[in-house]
């Protein structure tokens, strides 16, 4: 397999609003990020994925962009951004920007023009349709609840918005739209940024049925008819001219789809985020339910992707991001301090020993947990408010208490509470009032308490990253699932040349033993890393959430 820097990289995701405030307005900013670059350097990550820092009215925290070439005033200036890029590069850290081009803000000049009249030259830049019998064109739903169509009184037509109504979808079938997006991309790449994470990029090409004003049910816009044509065009015109990395955010992709988006010979993207695992606990009420994803499902999905893409495309590896609950709360165990620490480290092993590029979401490396917000007013996320209105107020599908339980489990604000830097006021995030409450556990869980502690979760992540940089088998080795039926342990091997890695992860709070484990560890080689400091020799049971990695060569 061809070596590429983006295959060997470890990416650290920053959600700027919640990372570090420098001026006391309660909102994280770019100077704040610059002041923490040494922290990321110390961790060993070599790429930062920066969630949007562009001008935005913040109906969806920056994912509604009103000017692609302007920095959000709350985050600083373009001069601050240029300094961030320079300071990051000086430390050997690359910067990947979020490209949110499926939709713009309704305050973007393009949309303001487009909505001004039916014959405006930019009318066709968005997706306008007549109503059907005095109602929405069809039943297409917004991913953030309610109809995906919004009536614009001025011109009497509806426009499509897959997310909130202030995020109108662009019409990618219009050549001028695509050219404008490409120009923007070039503008940033010429500044020297190192790539893009492309927001909902598999939804840019809408099927006819999704847009038909026929009163039909509305169909999904994922993986639409011309999406690969457009990505290949983008690649030819822009991406291929730079040494960059690209990752597509693509819900509803199968392994077969991913081979098209990220196949080595496809000239589209370097990799995509698959959502199969993230959506494995969804039901007819979407993420709003009490379910937990069992080990069996985690293992099946991960293995399917590891086997499926090996040698033909590249995986991205992640447990969480700014849209998902915290990894340790969702897949690990926060019932005691000890189990939180062990399970956070176990999850890190499980993911970082796989084939693909690992992504760490800010605070994951500290074992930050979901936020136990008491009432609805503490939340900030539009998805939460819309869902509450739909499920409780409008449909009466859940009681208030049920919905609050589901929000505490699945809401996006779990990931968006401020980064916990130290035990001081507001966890060292801001000298002012934070835009969203700090998780009260910041006195126990914070960076200051971990960076110098060799046994901390932070130090453990640093060690995993160091190992990845030292052993090509961790990056490039093939994957082989072992013990496919075990009810407690996720075990797999990686192989490259003579090197064989054995990874054992106990996903339960009980000891896991049995002859299988001893048989596996006998002859598995040296213990490379484990999350129990005194990790014992082969043969013994795996302790609660114990993870061990052996290397034979």
With binding defined as CB under 6 A, does residue 323 bind ligand TEU? yes
**Least distance from C-beta 200 to ligand TEU, angstroms?**
5
List the catalytic residue out of 199, 268, 413, 486.
199
> In angstroms, rounded to a whole number, what is the distance separating the alpha carbons of residues 224 and 222?
6
Q: How far is the CB of 412 from ligand TEU (least distance, A)?
A: 5
C-beta separation of 12 from 40 below 8 A: yes
For position 546 contacting ligand TEU by CB under 6 A, the verdict is no
Q: Catalytic pick from 46, 58, 249, 383? A: 249
**Min CB(170)–ligand TEU separation in Å:** 12
- State the nearest-atom distance from the C-beta of 257 to ligand TEU, in Å: 14
Q: CB of residue 276 vs ligand TEU: minimum separation in angstroms?
A: 12
The contact mask relative to ligand TEU for 76-105 (x = CB under 6 A, - = no) is ------------------------x-----
Q: Which is nearer to ligand TEU, 246 or 521 (CB)?
A: 246
Is residue 60 a contact residue for ligand TEU (CB under 6 A)?
yes
As measured in angstroms, the least distance from the Cβ of 146 to ligand TEU is 14
The one among 15, 63, 314, 388 contacting ligand TEU by CB under 6 A: 63
CA atoms within 13 A on the CB side of 457: 28
Residue with tokens 């495309």: 313
**DSSP notation for 221-249:** -TT-TTHHHHHHHHHHHTGGGS--EEEEE
User: Residue 326 or residue 496: which is nearer to ligand TEU going by CB?
Assistant: 326
Q: Which helix (H) or strand (E) holds 547?
A: strand 547-552
For ligand TEU, the binding residue among 18, 251, 320, 426 (CB under 6 A) is: 251
Task: Return the half-sphere exposure (C-beta side, CA atoms, 13 A cut-off) of residue 40.
Answer: 32
Nearest-angstrom CA–CA distance, 218 and 354:
38
C-alpha span between 290 and 97 (Å, rounded): 34
Identity of the residue, 100 or 344, whose beta carbon is nearer to ligand TEU in the bound complex: 100
Q: Going by C-beta distance under 8 Å and a sequence separation of 6 or more, which residues neighbour residue 92? A: 41, 46
Task: Give ∠ CA 193-197-201 in degrees, rounded to 5.
Answer: 135
Shortest Å, Cβ 143 to ligand TEU: 4
Active site residue 199: yes
Least gap, CB of 425 to ligand TEU (angstroms): 28
Q: Does 280 bind ligand TEU (CB under 6 A)?
A: no
Q: Could you tell me the smallest distance in angstroms from the CB atom of residue 317 to ligand TEU?
A: 17
DSSP string, 60-117: TTTSS-SEEEEE-TTT--HHHHHHHHHHHHHTT-EEEEEE--SB--TTSHHHHHHHH-
CA–CA separation, 65 and 173 (whole Å): 20
- Residue showing tokens 């011109």: 155
The answer to whether the CB of 196 falls within 8 A of the CB of 99 is yes
Q: Does 143 bind ligand TEU (CB under 6 A)?
A: yes
Residues in contact with ligand TEU, shown as a per-residue x/- string from 183 to 212 under the rule CB under 6 A = ----------------xx------------
- At its nearest, how many Å lie between ligand TEU and the CB of residue 429? 20
Contacts of 123 (CB under 8 A, 6+ apart): 114, 117
The answer to whether 406 contacts ligand TEU (rule: CB under 6 A) is no
Residue 100 or residue 301: which is nearer to ligand TEU going by CB? 100
Q: Which residues contact 386 (CB under 8 A, 6 or more apart)?
A: 144, 145, 146, 164
Q: Please, are residues 314 and 270 in contact by the beta-carbon 8 Å criterion?
A: yes
Query: Computed from CA positions of residues 275, 277, 283, 287, in that sequence, does the dihedral angle turn out positive or negative?
Result: negative
Q: What 3-state class would DSSP assign to 215?
A: coil
Strands 157-160 and 128-129, how do they pair? Answer: antiparallel
**Total residues at the site for ligand TEU (CB under 6 A)?**
13
d(CA 358, CA 315): 9
Instruction: Give the residue closest to ligand TEU by C-beta.
Output: 63
Contact residue for ligand TEU among 383, 390, 413, 486 (CB under 6 A): 383
User: Is residue 106 involved in binding ligand TEU (CB under 6 A)?
Assistant: no
Q: Which of 111, 163, 435, 507 binds ligand TEU (CB under 6 A)?
A: 163
Instruction: Quote the tokens at residue 202.
Output: 């598999």
Closer residue to ligand TEU, CB minimum distance, 165 or 322: 322
| From candidates 165, 412, 493, 496, binder to ligand TEU by CB under 6 A | 412
Alpha-carbon gap, residue 6 to 248, rounded angstroms: 14
Q: Which is nearer to ligand TEU, 406 or 490 (CB)?
A: 406
List of residues contacting ligand TEU (CB under 6 A): 60, 63, 100, 143, 163, 199-200, 249, 251, 322-323, 383, 412
Catalytic residues: 199, 249
């Amino acid at each position: 397999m061809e070596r590429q820097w983006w295959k060997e990289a470890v990416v650290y995701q920053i959600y700027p609003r919640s990372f570090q405030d420098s001026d006391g307005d309660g909102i994280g900013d770019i100077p704040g990020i610059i002041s923490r670059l040494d922290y990321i350097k110390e961790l060993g990550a070599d790429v930062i994925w920066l969630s949007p820092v562009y001008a935005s009215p913040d109906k969806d925290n920056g994912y509604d962009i009103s000017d692609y070439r302007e920095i959000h005033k709350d985050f600083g200036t373009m001069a601050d951004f240029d300094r961030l890029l320079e300071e990051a590069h000086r430390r050997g850290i690359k910067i990947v920007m979020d490209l949110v081009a499926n939709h713009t803000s309704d305050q973007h000049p393009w949309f303001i023009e487009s909505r001004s009249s039916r014959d405006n030259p930019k009318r066709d830049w968005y997706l306008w349709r007549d109503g059907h019998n005095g109602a929405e064109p069809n039943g297409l739903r917004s991913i953030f609840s309610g109809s995906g169509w919004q009536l614009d009184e001025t011109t009497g037509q509806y426009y499509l918005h897959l997310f909130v109504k202030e995020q109108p979808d662009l019409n990618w079938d219009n050549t001028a739209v695509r050219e404008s997006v490409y120009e923007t991309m070039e503008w940033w790449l010429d500044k020297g940024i190192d790539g893009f994470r492309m927001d909902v990029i598999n939804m840019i090409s809408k099927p006819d049925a999704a847009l038909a004003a026929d009163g039909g049910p509305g169909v999904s816009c994922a993986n639409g008819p011309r999406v690969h044509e457009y990505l290949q065009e983008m690649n030819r015109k822009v991406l291929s001219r730079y040494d960059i990395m690209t990752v597509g955010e693509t819900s509803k992709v199968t392994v077969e789809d991913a081979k098209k988006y990220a196949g080595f010979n496809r000239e589209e993207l370097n990799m995509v985020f698959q959502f199969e695992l993230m959506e494995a606990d969804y039901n007819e009420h979407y993420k709003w339910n009490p379910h937990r994803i069992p080990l069996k499902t985690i293992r099946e999905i991960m293995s399917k992707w590891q086997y499926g893409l090996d040698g033909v495309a590249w995986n991205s590896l992640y447990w969480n991001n700014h849209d998902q609950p915290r990894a340790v709360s969702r897949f690990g165990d926060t019932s005691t301090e000890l189990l939180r620490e062990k399970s956070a480290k176990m999850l890190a092993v499980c993911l970082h020993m796989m084939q693909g590029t690992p992504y760490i979401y800010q605070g994951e490396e500290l074992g930050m947990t979901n936020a136990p917000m008491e009432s609805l007013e503490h939340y900030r996320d539009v998805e939460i408010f819309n869902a509450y209105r739909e499920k409780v107020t409008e449909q009466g599908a859940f009681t208030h208490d049920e919905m609050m339980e589901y929000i505490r489990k699945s809401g996006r604000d779990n990931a968006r509470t401020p980064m916990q830097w130290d035990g001081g006021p507001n966890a060292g995030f801001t000298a002012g009032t934070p835009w969203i409450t700090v998780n009260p556990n910041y006195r126990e869980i914070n960076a200051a308490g971990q960076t110098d502690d060799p046994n901390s979760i932070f130090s453990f992540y640093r060690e995993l990253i160091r190992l990845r940089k030292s052993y090509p088998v961790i990056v490039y080795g093939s994957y082989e699932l072992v013990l496919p039926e075990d009810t407690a342990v996720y075990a797999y091997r990686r192989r490259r040349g003579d090197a064989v890695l054995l990874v054992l992860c106990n996903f339960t709070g009980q000891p896991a033993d049995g002859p299988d484990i001893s048989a596996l560890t006998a002859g598995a080689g040296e213990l490379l890393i484990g999350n129990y400091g005194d990790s014992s020799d082969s043969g013994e049971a795996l302790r609660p959430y114990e993870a061990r990695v052996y290397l034979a060569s």
